Chains A and B, each alone.
Chain A
């Protein structure tokens, strides 16, 4: 079946991409598909904000821990966490030192991992477990045994963080990292737990007149993107070409029960949906 071909001095294995330039758009188009495998369907991903939830400490965190302990028994889900104020401090110092973009990206993930450990210490008795990235394929094991995996949010771009037009700070943060985690697993919905009722037309902490966007589509949002966002810009950019994530919801974790309602499928907070093409 498999043939080795060495006519041009290079030894090729026969395949549909044999000898091809993987840069050629015509070749790439042959790998397009509308029916990509969903690795873990029926799983939801929940993200707890760093600055918005963790940095508020006990008052904000403990009620959510109680809620997670209950809802994690009702739904198959993964949890991710943000890094919060320590990330911002890291970035400020790194910028002042003139560290390269990739070097800064290498640093920030540690602050998020610390929050994952905090959460795990509180939720372990309810079956949570911190998932190192290398244990990617152990996820089904934990989900099947009813555990609650806490995944690392920052994507492992590290020293290889790409440059951007905008400035030296890394753009692939924890919101993006969780989005891409959901996408590769074929997870359809992500719920971001923050300290606002959702996405506003401007940052409501600075602009009290800003209005809440209750329900929108990715297309509508991209056409009229607010200057300040509650989620990483890179998330929306990546969502454009993603195949699986259908629904991103932002709820207020300071209101008891909102996360539970969102997981049950209710339209609380802001719901952004991607139109089926």
Chain B
């Protein structure tokens, strides 16, 4: 009988199905100085000009000081797609693939507005060109959605994909070795209840991922899976949520100030 023809290596005979926690590993970060940020879909893009133009002005002022990777959320058109696809009983992977179109549109919109300042639209496949874009002084803009598409896992409790644009933004920061990802939304961050429905809800300036998960809230400001990943993340240890409708907050967040809410790895 023919034998397995293997290359000698540390994992040469490994089935790769057992946990690998014990292996020596000294991570080499890719681009830890990049600022990874997300412009919300429903919270920012769907407000149009009045919300977007001031944010872009802040980005343009910051771009020579910081390497900015701008990612986009989906918003109401994505909700319309998910609602239709759910009614048609389509599987989660198809919802994820369909849900990818909207944040891509939003990224293209921002690119058109930022083109004269070096805004450049990039696909997932262009990720390795980031150093070039930064060297040229560009502002790369991409979808926040990770590229899972048809390969998205079905989730318990519903058919909306678990990995949406918050997840993609967090995972982009994680692979680049960036410590903090910034989410620009239309609220001051995390509250003890939905501030849109309960204006008296108390603001939470800082909270640990495990602590937040332990509260088991029915609703969260970011995708639940991102908080779960944060708890075990290797590089991205902080998620900052800021209010993009308040002038100057993005600039302060980019300068490293703890405005809004910080969810940290505890």
Which residues of A are at the interface with B, using a C-beta cutoff of 8 A?
8-13, 15-33, 35-37, 39, 51-52, 55-60, 85-89, 91-93, 95-103, 133, 136, 155-169, 173, 177, 180-181, 183-184, 186, 195, 203, 227-233, 238, 240-244, 254
Contact = CB atoms under 8 A, between A and B. Distances in A.
Contacts of A230: 15, 17
Interface string B74-114: 01110110111011111111100100000000000000000
Contacts, number: 282
B158 A101 contact: no
Contacts of A21: 194, 219-220
B48 interface: yes
The 9 closest A-B pairs by CB, nearest first: A59-B2, A28-B158, A184-B93, A102-B175, A167-B20, A166-B19, A98-B28, A92-B9, A160-B146
A99 B3 CA distance: 32
A9, A186, A203 interface centre (most CB from chain B within 10 Å): A9
Contacts of B53: none
B155 interface: yes
Given A13-B80, A158-B147, A159-B171, A228 B12 contact: no
Given A88-B11, A102-B175, A167 B154 contact: no
Q: Does more than half of chain B's interface fall in helix, strand or loop, or is it mixed?
A: loop
A222 B97 CA distance: 30
Contacts of A160: 124, 146-148, 163, 167-168, 171-172, 175
A59 B2 CA distance: 5
Given A39-B91, A57-B5, A186-B91, 11 more contacts: A11-B46, A30-B86, A56-B3, A95-B24, A156-B149, A159-B172, A162-B225, A168-B27, A169-B16, A184-B92, A243-B154
A15 B160 CA distance: 15
B18 A227 contact: yes
B1 A177 contact: no
Interface stretch (B133-141, B198-206, B226-234, B249-257): B226-234
22 contacts: A12-B79, A15-B79, A17-B79, A17-B83, A25-B158, A27-B158, A31-B160, A58-B2, A59-B1, A60-B2, A85-B9, A88-B11, A92-B10, A98-B26, A98-B28, A100-B177, A102-B174, A160-B146, A162-B171, A173-B16, A203-B15, A229-B15
A75 B218 CA distance: 46
Interface residues of B, number: 96
B31 to A, nearest CB: 11
Given A85-B5, A157-B148, A180-B153, A13 B77 contact: yes
Interface of B: 1-7, 9-12, 14-30, 42-43, 46-48, 50-51, 75-77, 79-80, 82-84, 86-94, 97, 124, 127, 146-160, 163-164, 167-168, 171-172, 174-177, 186, 194, 196, 218-225, 229, 232-235
A246 to B, nearest CB: 14
A74 B242 CA distance: 59
Contacts of B147: 156-158, 160
B144 to A, nearest CB: 11
Contacts of B46: 10-12
B81 to A, nearest CB: 9
Nearest to B2: A59
Given A95-B23, A177-B151, A228-B17, A33 B229 contact: no
A85 B233 CA distance: 28
Contacts of A9: 47, 50-51, 186
Nearest to B221: A23
Contact of A164 (B11, B77, B232): B232
Contact of B151 (A89, A93, A156, A167): A156
Given A56-B2, A155-B148, A243-B91, A31 B158 contact: yes
A35 to B, nearest CB: 6
Contacts of A229: 15, 17-18
A13 to B, nearest CB: 5
Contacts of B80: 13, 15, 17-18
A11 B27 CA distance: 44
Nearest to B78: A22
A37 B157 contact: no
Contacts of A93: 9
A36 B159 CA distance: 10
Given A23-B222, A88-B16, A164-B232, A238 B174 contact: no
Nearest to B18: A228
B175 A32 contact: no
